[in-house]
Chain A
Amino acid sequence: MTTDGDDELLARLAATVAGAEEPPDAVAELARLSFGLRRVDEELAELVADSALDVAPVGVRAGTGAPRLLTFEASETELELQVTPTGTLGGADGWELLGQVVPPGAAAIRVEPSGAGAALETAADELGRFSVSGSGSGPWRVVCLREGLPPLVSAWVLLG
């Protein structure tokens, strides 16, 4: 004996299933493989500020490639990243990163893609500053390795 409520609920479920779309195989596969990117026992520097989510100021021109400011915070360290799109509009997803590690100090810097592709490697000077250019969509993160300090691992972000 089914109730009207049951019929309706099943119909809702059917509608949800009908509207559902599974991810493409390659996309799901990438998500499965990303398990290998986990860094355990390391503090994550969370994204605490992203200027791209602020209200656009009046007068900002379209497509000028204005830099985006990202701030990542861990308990005792901070990473500031300025992201400037490079390349032509609608062309390659290129970007230039200008970084600042706080507290300032020399560091080895790795900018890691989540998908295929090599990490970008550079170094921060004694003031903690670095710059690197790259391209590619998908999530990226920044890892800063400093003498005598635990690694600073930023949260993943979409740069493109």
Chain B
Amino acid sequence: MIPGDGSGDRRDLSDVPPGELVRSAGAGDSAAWDELVRRYGGLLWSICRDHRLGQADAADVFQLTWLRLLERLDTLHDPARVGSWLATTCRHECLAVLRRGRRISPSSDAVESRSEPAGGADVEVLRSDRDAVLWEAFGRLGERCRRVLAVLVAEADDGPPSYAVAAERLQMPVGSLGPTRQRCLAQLRQMLAAGGIYAAGADS
């Protein structure tokens, strides 16, 4: 989530809002597409793994989800909510794989599935939903807030983050870190309140 040192000849699109990325990609800009994959790839991969898909199935669903977006670049109802759309699509395809993988043997009623059985994964899927909602809202924050919060989270390993270390990483005065943290979390709360993946009105 933390932008790395981009190579000099690659545009840094980390501050471009998702809706604009979708529009640019729709107009043929491959760098915008790359940024979409970079920004939401972790969210989608986590969804796949939370559904207990094996590596191969997860890779298939991951790829299929992005191809679905490719099919819809010009027709997404709400490009700004592409994160929600991707997460919902990914989840749908995960469930489809699980369903297709299930073979029922009439003699023993044993369930064999190509990926792990869903029984114990229910809790994982619920957690995945909450995580996905939070991550998607996080993705709609501006780049500065994403960076600040990501560093604060990274520095909070075993308890409260060291503001001094975080401030140094962010190259900010320590004194402004507190108010910035507060402002960014308020924005994150706004994003959550504005509704996300499973809210009514999200793209189907």
Contacts and interface: CB of A to CB of B under 8 A. Distances in A.
A21 B46 contact: yes
Contact of B37 (A28, A139, A157): A28
Nearest to A52: B100
Contacts of A149: none
A23 interface: yes
A109 B88 CA distance: 32
Given A21-B45, A155-B71, A31 B189 contact: no
Contacts of B106: 58-61
A69 to B, nearest CB: 13
B42 interface: yes
A44 interface: yes
A62 B1 contact: no
Contacts, number: 141
Given A6-B181, A13-B134, A28 B149 contact: no
A1 B186 CA distance: 13
A44 B71 contact: yes
Contacts of B153: 10, 13-14, 17
B138 A37 contact: no
B37 A156 contact: no
Interface in A1-33: 1-3, 5-6, 9-10, 12-17, 19-24, 27-28, 30-32
Contacts of A62: 103-105, 112
Given A44-B71, A52-B100, A160 B60 contact: yes
A115 B25 CA distance: 20
Contact of A27 (B34, B63, B67): B63
Contacts of B63: 27, 30-31, 34, 114-115, 138-139
Given A59-B106, A63-B103, A156 B33 contact: no
B97 interface: yes
Interface in B31-73: 33-34, 37-38, 41-46, 49, 55-56, 58-64, 66-68, 70-71, 73
B185 A6 contact: yes
| Chain A facing B: main interface SS | mixed
Contact of B64 (A20, A38, A63, A158): A158
B168 to A, nearest CB: 19
A156 B60 contact: no
Contacts of B102: 56
Contacts of A20: 42-43, 46, 131, 135
Given A27-B59, A34-B67, A160-B60, A17 B1 contact: yes
Contacts of A15: 131
Interface of B: 1, 25, 30, 33-34, 37-38, 41-46, 49, 55-56, 58-64, 66-68, 70-71, 73, 93, 96-97, 99-100, 102-106, 112, 127, 131, 134-135, 138, 149-150, 152-154, 156, 178, 181-182, 185, 188-189
16 contacts: A6-B185, A10-B152, A10-B181, A12-B134, A13-B138, A19-B127, A27-B59, A31-B62, A32-B30, A32-B37, A44-B71, A52-B96, A59-B106, A62-B112, A138-B63, A157-B64
